[in-house]
Amino acid sequence: MGRARLASQRHRVRIAALQILFEVDETDHAIDQVLERRLADEPMPPESAEFLRRLVFGAWEHRSYLDRIIEEAAPNWPVAQMPGVDKAVLRIALFELLIDDIERTPMKAVINEAVELAKQFGSDNSSRFVNGVLGTVVIRYLAERGDEE
């Protein structure tokens, strides 16, 4: 699969992850059922489905830790009051940056994707907010990582 096609597929997976996490956070729907329904409605290659599962379950299982990091980076904006889209975008991006050891997506790619998702699905201020939170997290937690891709 070419690099551009892979990036496009990864973007589609992140959109699906955002929508799944948003639904689960806003309703009492079971995460595994929401994920499986999404995969049934929108079939994807096995490696993309696996990436989706890892993003969704990883971000959801680590949400308490990720939410603490969000609140440290944006102390004036409690996670409980944050728009659902912003929260889901940040959880996905932070999971990729801080926890996911399998993928190791370059830092800039994760941030660019998160900002694009925030522009596409969030409010007028979402992309600036997401970029600011992720920038703060990178400075505090990832400055020594130094990947520049």
> Which residue has 């007028």 as its token pair?
124
16 CB-near residues (< 8 Å, 6+ apart): 38, 42, 44, 52
- What residues does each domain of the chain span? 1-142
| pLDDT at residue 144, rounded to an integer | 61
Q: Which CATH superfamily is 1-142 part of?
A: NusB-like (1.10.940.10)
Would you write out the chain's pLDDT as a tens digit for each of its 149 residues?
Answer: 576 777 789 999 999 999 999 999 999 899 999 999 999 999 999 999 999 999 999 999 999 999 999 999 999 999 999 999 999 999 999 999 999 989 889 999 999 999 999 999 999 999 999 999 999 999 998 776 555 44
Q: φ and ψ at 4, to 5 degrees?
A: -65, -40
pTM, rounded to two decimals: 0.92
Q: What is the distance between the alpha carbons of residues 12 and 7, in angstroms, rounded to a whole number?
A: 9
Residue type, 19: Q
